[in-house]
Every structure is written in C-alpha cells, then in structure tokens.
Amino acid sequence: MLKYVVICIILCSLFPVAASEQEQLIKMMVDKGWDKGVAIVTADGYYGTGWWIDRNTMVTAAHVVEYKYKTVRVIHGYFETTGRVVSIDQKRDIAIIKTQSMPKDAYIFVIDKRVEKTETVYAIGYPYELMQLERDVYSLSANPRIAKGTISWISPDIGIAEITVSVDAGNSGGPVVNENGEVVGLVTFALKGRAATLYFITLSKELEGNVNYRVGLGLSHEQREMLKSIALGIFISVFTTFLVLYGFRKR
C-alpha cells in the first residue's frame, strides 16, 4: 500500500512541473513576439503553418500548397488576407507566398544557417490535434503551439536535420527556431519506423535562391517601422544642424 502511495505522490509532483515548463515556453514565445510571426496557410480545406520572412512575404512547405502556384488564405486571429504562391522548390519542399497585406505587429523572422547537433530548438505552429480543442481555425491561428526539443541528426549535403520535437501535419512549413528566435529550418516531413516516428526539417540554408532573407536580430514589422522613423528623425536633426552651422559660417 505504501508503495502505491509513494508512486502517486511522485506522479502528482511531476505534472505541475510539466505544466510549469509549458507555461514558461508559452510566456517566452509571447514575450519575444514569436507567436506573431506565424499564421495558418489554408486552401481547399487543408492547412499548414507559414511564417513571415519579409514584408508581405511568407515561407511554408511546398506540400502545404500541394506543389501548385495557387491562391491561399492566410489567417492569424482576426487578421485574414489572401496570398499568392510565387515560388515552389519541390526538391527542398519550400514554397514562398506573397500576401496582399500583413498584421501591423507581425514578427519577421531572420534565419541562422548554422546548426549543431544537440542544439536546443523550438517548433512553432498549429498541429491538427489542437483543432479538436479550439473552436475554429481563427481561434487556433491566434494561439500557436510551441514545443521544445533538440537537433539530433544533420545531413548538410541533403539539407535536412532531425529534431526530437513531436510535430503533426498542421505544423508543416512552420519555423523551427534556436534560442535567439532565428529560424534554423522549417518542418517538412516525418518517417515512421518500427519503434518510433522521426521528424525532419529542411535547413534554412536551403532558402538561398528562393527568397531574400535577413540574418541577425528578428523584429516585428511595427518595430522595424519605428526604427526607420527614429533613423529618419536622427538624419533630419543632423542635416538641420549642419545647415544651421553652415549658415552661420557663411555669415
């Protein structure tokens, strides 16, 4: 009897820890703005995850859009727009979407082409299972899932890596980021073995030739516009000061 009591105490003590860790992951994602960088990409009743890489430009997996140049819907909460697939890389399973607009506070991800085994990574997206819990696609799109894992295997020649994060079909195309929020790859496929299912990403370096991207600090579109305004203000101030000083010298 005592043995079962001890087991129950141990099990009960584990659940709050697990919940706390997930809450910390969600808080980290929200605090850093990563949740504003993804959206549901849907067409013909099927959906996957897309992420912003530039103004009005999204990346997702090519199989999400069925390897077709087509029009899709992009949804994040109450924001919805249409997008047009402008580039498809079937070999690397990458699709680029140009949207009519984007959320004002959308987080624009940057990439890191460096990736190492055992590196901590986070998969952000919308697995299908969550659709059974959320009311609809709009509620789900505003509440992306974040899951923590590591890079367990890399094939630089093929341009793929295995992750220990469990993902589902709705995660397809979604970003896998390092601890700095830089995208190291996008979710593309899984292989089911005798004992387990292995999950793979296409490495970010494979985006070369498909889309322009930035390497460095990730910022939301709103933050980028604010920095541009600050830079413009500084330039005007410096230029005005120069004109005033130049005018005094001429006198």
User: What is the pLDDT, as a whole number, of residue 92?
Assistant: 96
Confirm if 204 and 151 have CB atoms less than 8 A apart.
no
Residue 41 has pLDDT above 60, yes or no: yes
Give, in words, the CATH class of 32-217. mainly beta
Other beta carbons within 10 Å of 167: 24
Least confident of 35-39, 134-138, 163-167: 134-138
CA 8 to chain centre: 38
The token duo for 103 is: 């959320």
Q: For the whole prediction, is pTM greater than 0.75?
A: yes
Give the separation between CA 13 and CA 52, rounded to whole angstroms.
39
| More confidently predicted of 82 and 236 | 82
Contacts of 214 (CB under 8 A, 6+ apart): 54, 108, 110, 111
pLDDT over threshold 60, residue 204:
yes
Q: What is the pLDDT of residues 113-144, one digit of tens each?
A: 999 999 999 999 999 989 888 878 999 999 99
Instruction: Give phi and psi for 75, each to the nearest 5.
Output: -130, 130
Higher pLDDT, 16 or 189: 189
